Amino acid sequence: MSMRELRQGLFDIVRELERYEAYRAKWATLYLTLVDEDGNEIRIDTRGERILYPYKSIADEKGL
């Protein structure tokens, strides 16, 4: 799967999730194995992990 196909698939999933806007996600996990043109696995970073921290508004931080 090319990066373009992966990106489009993720966009499609996000569009499907729009109907659940009233809810919050507890967590989400995406397992992704990248390979070079020879089929050898590559890593995005040395740990092989990427964590996205959600944006917190001032209201969230103050518990409002």
**pLDDT in the model for residue 20:** 92
Segments of the chain with pLDDT less than 50: none
Burial 25-46 (b: 16+ CB within 10 A, else e): eeeeeeeeeeeeeeeeeeeeee
pTM more than 0.85: no
Percent of the chain surpassing pLDDT 90:
17
**pLDDT in the model for residue 48:** 66
- 54 phi and psi angles, rounded to 5 deg: -70, 150
